[in-house]
Each structure stands twice: as structure tokens, then as C-alpha cells.
Structure 1
Amino acid sequence: MISPAFASILASGRAQFNARALEARRRFPSLDMAAFGAFLHDSVDPLVVAVAAASPERAGGATLVAYDMALELVGHGLAGPMAKNSFLNTVWRELAPSLAPLVATAPVEVLGMLSNAAIHIGAVAGARPAQWQRELAALAAQIATVAQLRAVGQVLAWRAGVAHFRQGALAAADTLPPALALAAFGEPGAQWPQVHAQLLGNPWRGNAEGREFGAFSGLGGDFGMPPQVRATADGCGFAVRSGERHYLLVADAYGAVLHSATAQEFEQAPNDRPSSVRLDGATVHIGARSIVLDVPAGDIAIAANAHTLAITSPWTHAIRLLPLA
């Protein structure tokens, strides 16, 4: 059963809600009303309860927006028990109620933003949606405006593994009150200008070990053939070739994301190596550091951009990524 608060709002506007459901069934012929009802019960009801407690006078309007949005999300197969990715259900059920005061004042913007973020982060291979949700919920009480929510959400998405958000997230963080920006990076008490400068200058800040990315596609990985790698011309990522397929790899301390690319982008990518990097058998030397690689010596290839060294071998489908700093 749904809560008394939600039941009361539905009952008081029964004709209006029924008309909206009827119109949605015309727009989405495959709309499963049982799935819609389950989404209302499991994910919308907790939000309505939270909004009614935070701002009773706005609960009706926010519920109407949530109802309309729920019809569309379930109609597109993005929400409800049959959704391919259940993360959006979880965001509505567990995260949105923590932002009830903002939902009450700007339901279209906030619920739209949360839904889009959930769909995007849930679709990025290697991202950590649960981390994003948990950290955003922890900061909810400090977020006073929709603009702050957008900025914090972008920062936390980057920190949860959406590596290509880096530049945008840093710019967004600069629009926040310094205390909130520092909280978003888990560094309360620090000085934001210094933290920002360090993050901007070193994509691997806080991760001196680097990371390994990729695996054989037959085992659920990304590459059908051992990949070849070149640094991109802009120095921010790597062009990758695996068999006849080409990609752009963006990686930093928080994660790595693979995008589709073209053969031309790979062929035009430079293949320079900094003088500070030297390969000796199966040992790579980066300045004064020496790292023994876990692949046979011979045919090991290395490529480097401004901050990262990428190592590949015909004996593995993985790309080893090491910070240059």
C-alpha cells in the first residue's frame, strides 16, 4: 500500500491523474500499467512522503510532476521493475527523498537532472553509480540550489569513474562555495584554490599506482584483439586500435572510459615518447622509478601523453596506465 500522503493527493486529483495516464497510454502503446504502478509504489511514494514532510504546501505540485515523469520513464522502459538498468529506480527511491526541499521548489529541474544523471552514469562501463548516489546523498543537506546540485552531481560523477567529465567537473566545482567544493572532494578543512590547482595540474592526484584497463571481449571485456595505443594530439587521452575497431580512452585517478573513434583518428595520433621514459626488457623506467611489467619482454609498446604512460603487449588485452608524475 502507498502512504496516506500519496493516497490523499491521488484521490484529490483522481480525474487529472487518470487523464494523464490515459494520454500516456496513447503516446506509449507498450506502457505497462502494472510496471507503472510498481514504480509509483516503490520509488515515487518515498519521494512524495519526503516532500510532504519538507514542504506540505508544495507536495501536490511536486507529485503531479513526479507522476508525469514516471509515466514517461516507464513508457520508455527506463524505470520500473522491467527496466534494463534498475539504478534510476534506486535514485528516485533512495536519493531523491534526501533532496526533498529542492524537489519541492523545482521538481521538473531536480527530478529531470537526477533521472538524466542516473541513466548516463548507469550506462558508463566501469563507472560506480552506487558511489555517486551515496556521496550525493551525504551532501544533500549542504546543497541549497539547483545550480549547486548540478555542479556537485558533475563533480561526484567524475569521482565515481566518469573520467571524461574531468575538465567540466573542475569548472563546475569552481562555481560552488569553497566549503561545498571541498566536501565534494572529501577534503574538508583544506584550501580550495590549492586543491583545485593540484587537481587541474595532475589528473592522477591521489593515485600513484595508475590502473589497468580492458580485457578480452569473449570474457566480457572491451577488446577482441590485443590493443595498440597512441597518445592523442590534444594530450588528454589515447587513441586505441583493436583489430578493425578504434576507440578513444580517457583515464585518470578516478576511472577510465572508452569511447568510439575512427581509424583516421588513430592514424593521425602522434606516437612520441618522453625522454624520461625508458623500456628495458620487461621493466619500464619513469624517471627514477622502475616498474617490472607482468608480460614477456619483447614487443612491448608504450605511448605517453602529458600525464600518463600507456603500456600494451601482444600477450594481453589489457592496457596498463601509469602516472608520469
Structure 2
Amino acid sequence: MISPAFAAILASGRAQFNGRAAEARRRFPALDMAAFGAFLHDGVDPLVAAVAAAAPERAGSVTLAAYDMALELVGHGLAGPAAKNPFLNGVWRALAPQFAPLLATAAVDVLGLLSNAAIHLAGVAGARPAQWQRELAALAPQISAVADLRAVGQVLAWRAGVAHFRLGALAAADTLPPALALAAFGEPGAHWPQVHAQLLANPWRGNAEGREFGSFSGYGGAFGTPPQVRATAEGFVVCSGERHYLLVADACGAVLHGATAEEYALASTDVPASVRLEGAAVQIGARRIELDLPAGEIAIAANAHTVAITSPYTHAIRLLPLA
């Protein structure tokens, strides 16, 4: 059963909604109307009910916007029971209703932002979409403008593992009220300019241990052969067999992008004097880190912030903060 508010709107505009569905079937011949009906029940109804409670005079226009967008998402196989990734369904069902006041004034913008973010996050290997949804829902009462939603969503996407969003997220955070920016970074009560400066200067702020990335592709990992790495300002260019990648990593996560053999050839093999191998350990300044690798064939690369460690005995790359 759908909510009384949604049922009443659908009944009063039956001809209009049926016409929209018929047009969508012409645009998307594979559109499954049963799947669309299920998404209306599970994804659209909760947000319509939330808007009807918060701003009943806007429920009709929000329903039209959500109905049209739902047709397109289901038509592309992005939403509904047979969706390629179910995360978007949950965002409409559980997250969008948290923004009922904002939906009432800007439904297309809000649903577009949330849907695009959900689709992108679900497609980034290693990202943590559930964390993004949970943290954005917690901040929803503090977000009253579409621009703030966009900025907070970007910050939380970075914090949920989309490492290449780092600089964009920091720039977006600067557009927010300081209290909201600090809340997005989980540091309420701090001094925003100071937090911003620290985050900008140190990509590993809050994570002194670093992280390990990668495993054998035969077990669902990224690399078919043990990787070799060279440094760039953005991260590390990785060579694995005949394939090349750009690895971007920081305190929040690690993301692999495509790269070329030319980019690998041009990347740096220099290592700072403060970083050196000593048998099966790496010395980074005053820190000594014992490595679970055979001595003798360990390789290191470093950029301004990170040391990457590889070995022909593993498909993983060990990433350690340089500072």
C-alpha cells in the first residue's frame, strides 16, 4: 500500500501520469512497468509522503518531478528491483525524505544531485556508499540550500573513500558556513581555517598508519601481476603486466584510474633522502616500519606526501604517510 497522500495525487492526475508513462515506454522500449511500479512504491512514495507532511501544498509538483525522474532511472536500469546497483533505491527510499523541506522547493535539483551521487559512488571500487548516506542523513537538518547539499555531498564522498575528490571537496567546503563545514568533517567546535589548512597540507591527516591497496585480479582484485609504481604529484602511476593505472590515495581511501605507458615512463623514480630501505624494513624519517616481505627485492617510490612499497611477492601496494 502506498501512502494516502501519494495515492490521492496519482488518482487526481491519472490521465497525466499515464501519458507520461506511455511517452517513457516509447523512449525506453525495455522499460519494465512492473519494476517501475515497484520503484514508485519503494522509492517515490516515501519522499512524497515526507513532502506532504512538511509542505502539503508542494506535494503535487514534487510528485510530478519524482515520477518523471523515476521513469528515466528505471528505463536506464538504474533504479527498481532489477537495478544494476541497489544503492540508488535506498537513497530515494531512506535519504531523500530527510530533505523534505528542500525537496518542496527544488525537487529536480535535489533528486538529481542525490541520484547522480549515488550512481557515482556505487561505481567507485573501494568507496563506502553506506557511510556517505548515513553521514549525509545525519547532516540533513542543517542543510537548507541546494548549493550546501552539493558541497556537503562532495565532502562526504571524499570522506567515504573517493580519494580523487580531495581538493574539490576542500574547495567546496570553503563555500559552506564554517559550522556546517566542520560538521561535515566530523570536527564540530574546531576552527575551520585551521582544519582546512591542515587537510590541505596533509592528505593523511587523521591516518598515521597508511593503507594497503590491491590484490590479485584472479580473486577479484585490481592487478594481474605484482605491480610496480612510480610517483607523480597526484599519486602513483602503476604498471601491472601490460596495463597502467593512476592510483590516488589518502587518509580516506584509494581509487584506481586508467593511465598510459607514456605516463608511467614519465613518472618519477626519485625517493627523498629521508626514506630508505633497511633489509625488510623502511625508514621514514625517525619512523621504522617492519615489512612483511622478503628483503632484497622491495621497491619504494615517493611523492610529497606518500611512500609506496611494492614487491614481486605481492599484488598489494603498501602506502605510508611521508610526514
TM-score w.r.t. structure 2 length?
A: 1.00
User: What residue number does 1:298 align with?
Assistant: 296
CA deviation profile, 1:28-49 (whole Å, cap 9, x unmatched): 0000000000000011100000
- Residue 84 of structure 1 and its aligned partner are, at CA, apart by 1.4
User: What residue number does 2:130 align with?
Assistant: 130
- Residue 144 of structure 1 and its aligned partner are, at CA, apart by 1.1
User: What residue number does 1:3 align with?
Assistant: 3
Residue 250 of structure 1: which of 248, 255, 260 is its match?
Answer: 248
Residue 257 of structure 2: which of 256, 259, 267 is its match?
Answer: 259
CA deviation profile, 1:77-120 (whole Å, cap 9, x unmatched): 00000011000000000000000111110011100000000000
CA deviation profile, 1:97-154 (whole Å, cap 9, x unmatched): 0001111100111000000000000100000000000000000000010000000000
CA distance in structure 1 between the partners assigned to 2:250 and 2:204 by the alignment: 5
CA distance in structure 2 between the partners assigned to 1:52 and 1:261 by the alignment: 49
Q: Secondary structure at the match of 1:239?
A: strand
Any residues of structure 2 matched to 1:225-244 within 5 Å, and which?
225-232=225-232, 235-244=233-242
CA distance in structure 2 between the partners assigned to 1:301 and 1:100 by the alignment: 53
User: What residue number does 2:152 align with?
Assistant: 152
CA distance in structure 1 between the partners assigned to 2:79 and 2:50 by the alignment: 20
Q: Secondary structure at the match of 1:106?
A: helix
Contact kept in structure 2, 1:236 and 1:306, CA below 8 Å = no
Q: Secondary structure at the match of 2:43?
A: helix
AA aligned to 1:75 is G
User: What residue number does 1:173 align with?
Assistant: 173
The sequence identity of aligned pairs, in percent, is 82
CA distance in structure 2 between the partners assigned to 1:278 and 1:303 by the alignment: 10
CA distance in structure 2 between the partners assigned to 1:66 and 1:104 by the alignment: 11
AA aligned to 1:270 is S
1:224 corresponds to 2:243 = no
User: What residue number does 2:315 align with?
Assistant: 317
User: What residue number does 1:19 align with?
Assistant: 19
CA deviation profile, 1:35-85 (whole Å, cap 9, x unmatched): 000000011100000011111111100000000000000000000000110
CA distance in structure 2 between the partners assigned to 1:262 and 1:102 by the alignment: 43
User: What residue number does 1:59 align with?
Assistant: 59
Any residues of structure 2 matched to 1:72-111 within 5 Å, and which?
72-111=72-111
User: What residue number does 2:163 align with?
Assistant: 163
Q: Secondary structure at the match of 2:101?
A: helix
AA aligned to 1:96 is A
Unaligned regions of 5+ residues in structure 2, if any? none
CA deviation profile, 1:188-245 (whole Å, cap 9, x unmatched): 010000000000000000000000000000001000000000001xx12100000000
- Moved runs in structure 1, 4+ residues, more than 2 A? none
CA distance in structure 2 between the partners assigned to 1:274 and 1:81 by the alignment: 53
AA aligned to 1:26 is R
- Residue 298 of structure 1 and its aligned partner are, at CA, apart by 1.2
- Residue 270 of structure 1 and its aligned partner are, at CA, apart by 1.2
TM-score w.r.t. structure 1 length?
A: 0.99
AA aligned to 1:189 is G
CA distance in structure 2 between the partners assigned to 1:65 and 1:159 by the alignment: 30
Contact kept in structure 2, 1:102 and 1:110, CA below 8 Å = yes
Unaligned regions of 5+ residues in structure 1, if any? none
Q: Secondary structure at the match of 1:206?
A: coil
RMSD of Structure 2 on Structure 1 (CA): 0.4
AA aligned to 1:221 is G
1:140 corresponds to 2:145 = no
Q: Secondary structure at the match of 1:125?
A: coil
CA distance in structure 1 between the partners assigned to 2:304 and 2:133 by the alignment: 32
Contact kept in structure 2, 1:202 and 1:307, CA below 8 Å = yes
